[in-house]
Chain A
C-alpha cells in the first residue's frame, strides 16, 4: 500500500473531523485526490486553481531571487564597500555576500507572509467547514516582493492578517474578493506605518538603524528623488531597466518582470489586454504631462516639474508600474472580466497611476492605489460593457423583425 493510499484511508477514517480541511489542503498539495466527478463529463483541463497559482509563482521566482541579490548589493553599495555594478551581469552584483544579506532579510519576509497568511486561511476553512483555498499561494509570494526590505516582521504579520481577513475572507474567500489581497496588505502597511513604507531610509537594509551614527547612509528611490526635483541620483536608464536600484524587494528589475510577463502571456494566465492597456494608459498620461511641460504651463520651480519632465516612456521603468501591471492588475478575480472592460480597466490603472505619481509627492508610488481603485470599479465597468452589448444585439433583433 503506497503512501497515497494510506493518506486516503486516513482521510476516509476521519471524514467527520473538524480539522479535515487542514489535512486535505496538504494532501491535495502532494497528490491528486481519489474523488472523481459523478455526474457526466465536465470541462477537462489541467489548469486548475493550483496549477494557475503555481504558474504565477514561477513567474515571480526570478524577481524574488534578483531581489535577494539586490538587497545585499544596495546594502554594501550604500556603505561604499563595493563598486557599483556595471549592467545586469556586473561583477559586484551576483556575489555570495550579497546573497547572504538577501537570504537573511528576504527569506523571513517570505516565511512570515506564507506562515501567517496560510494560518488565517486554515482557521477560516475549519470554521466555515470548506476546503482550504489556494488563493493565498500567489498573495503570499507577492507580499514580500512589494514591501521594503527592512519592514519589521510583526508589522508584516499584522498587515497580512488584516489583508486576508478584511480583503478576502469577509467577502467569502478566494474568488469572491473585491480587492486584491496583496495590495490591501500593502495599503494597510502604507497607511498604518508610513515611516516604514516611504522616505529615503527604508529601501536599503540597515539605513534606518545607521541613522544618526557617523556611518549613516540613505538609499532614496529614484521616484522619491524625482518627486523632490532632485534628478535620478546618477542612475541611468539601464540601471533602472536591469533593476540595480533601491526599491521594494522584487519590483526593481524591469527586465525580469518583462520576462515574467511574457511567460504569463504565453501560458495565458495573465491577460495581455490588461498589461498592454495599463502601459498605454501610463504612456498617455506621461505624454500629457510632457505636453504641459513643453507648453511651458508650469515653471521649473513648480513642485511637479521633476516628475512631469520625465520623458513619458521612462515612467514605465521608474517605480513599480510594470510590476503592478503584470502581477497585480491581471489578478483574474479583481480585474474586469469582459474583454472590452479589460481595456478600459487597464487604461485607467495606468492613467491614474501616473497622475497620482505626479500630483501627490507624499505618495509618489500611486500604482497600488490606482489598482485598488480600479478593482472597486471593475464590476461597474463590466456591467456597462455587458449592457452595451445587450443593447446592440437587441437593436439587431429589432431590425430583423421589422
Chain B
C-alpha cells in the first residue's frame, strides 16, 4: 500500500468492519433486506452503490466550496439522482432480467441513507481523493454485508449460488435432496435477511466488545 498513507488506508478498512455502515451505523437496511434473496442481485446492487458513492463523493467534494449551504441537500440529491439514472439505464440496457429483479430498488439508491450520509458527513469537508477513498470504503462495507447475506439466503433458500445449482436438483432429488434435504422457504423472505443481519451484528459485537453501546 505504497500509494496510500496509513490514514487513507483506514478510510477504506474502517467501514469494512468496525465502522460498517450496515451493522454498526445501521444505515441502508431496506435494500439489504429487499434484494438479497439472490447473490447475483446483491453483487450488482453493491457495484451500483460502489459506483454512485465513489463518484458522488468526488463530485460533491469538488464542488463543496461553491455549494450554498442552504440548498446543499438539493444539490446532493441532484448528483445522486443523475448517477442513479446512469446506473439504471446501464442495467436496463445490458442486464434487463436483473434490472427487473432489482426493480424499484435501483431507483431507491437515491434514498439510501449511506450515500447521503457520506456526502453530508465526509465529502462536504474533505478533499476529492480522501472522499473517493471514503466512498469506496463505505460501499465495500455495504457490499460485504450484502454478499454475506445474499450468499446464505440463496444457498439455503434456493440451493443455488449465482443461479447455479450447488446442492443438487430439488425436483429430480439429486445431491443432498436425495437424503431428504429441502430448501428453506423462510430464507427467501425479507424477515430472514433481518435475522441474518442481526446474527452478523451479534457475532461482530461479541468479538469486539468496544462496539457494544449501553
Contacts and interface: CB of A to CB of B under 8 A. Distances in A.
B185 interface: yes
A152 B184 CA distance: 13
B116 to A, nearest CB: 31
A388 to B, nearest CB: 31
B83 interface: no
Contacts of B185: 191-194
A170 B186 contact: no
A297 interface: no
B68 interface: no
A: interface residue count bin: 10 to 19
Given A166-B195, A170-B202, A193 B180 contact: no
A170 B181 CA distance: 27
Contact of A155 (B182, B187, B202): B182
Nearest to B181: A154
Nearest to A170: B202
B202 A188 contact: no
Interface in A157-205: 158, 166, 170, 188, 191-196
A282 to B, nearest CB: 27
Contacts of B59: none
A148 to B, nearest CB: 14
Contacts of A152: 180, 182
Contacts of B184: 158, 192-193
Contact of B186 (A191, A195, A196): A191
A193 B157 CA distance: 10
A170 B195 CA distance: 11
A183 to B, nearest CB: 15
Contacts of B186: 188, 191-192
Nearest to B184: A192
Nearest to A191: B186
Interface in B177-207: 180-182, 184-187, 189, 195, 198, 202
Contact of B182 (A166, A170, A193): A193
A196 B182 CA distance: 10
Nearest to A158: B184
B189 A191 contact: yes
A154 B195 contact: no
Nearest to B157: A192
A368 to B, nearest CB: 15
Nearest to B182: A193
A191 B184 CA distance: 8
Contacts of B202: 170
Nearest to B156: A192
B189 A154 contact: no
Interface string B155-190: 000000000000000000000000011101111010
Contacts of A191: 185-186, 189
A158 B180 CA distance: 14
Contacts of A170: 198, 202
A177 B185 CA distance: 25
A327 B76 CA distance: 56
A192 B187 contact: yes
Contacts of B181: 154
Contacts of B182: 152, 155, 193, 195-196
Interface in A116-162: 152, 154-155, 158
A123 to B, nearest CB: 14
Please indicate which of the listed interface residues B185, B186, B187, B202 has the most CB atoms of chain A within 10 Å of its own CB.
Answer: B186
Task: Tell me which of A158, A170, A191, A194 has the highest count of chain B C-beta atoms within 10 A of its own C-beta.
Answer: A191
A191 B181 CA distance: 16
A173 to B, nearest CB: 15
A170 B182 CA distance: 26
Interface string A327-365: 000000000000000000000000000000000000000
A185 B95 CA distance: 40
Interface string B55-99: 000000000000000000000000000000000000000000000
A2 B195 CA distance: 49
Given A166-B195, A170-B202, A154 B180 contact: yes
Contacts of A193: 182, 184-185
Given A154-B181, A155-B182, 4 more contacts: A152-B180, A152-B182, A166-B195, A192-B187
23 contacts: A152-B180, A152-B182, A154-B180, A154-B181, A155-B182, A158-B184, A166-B195, A170-B198, A170-B202, A188-B186, A191-B185, A191-B186, A191-B189, A192-B184, A192-B185, A192-B186, A192-B187, A193-B182, A193-B184, A193-B185, A194-B185, A195-B182, A196-B182
**Which 9 pairs across A and B sit closest by C-beta, in order of nearness?**
A192-B186, A191-B186, A192-B184, A192-B185, A152-B180, A193-B182, A194-B185, A166-B195, A191-B185
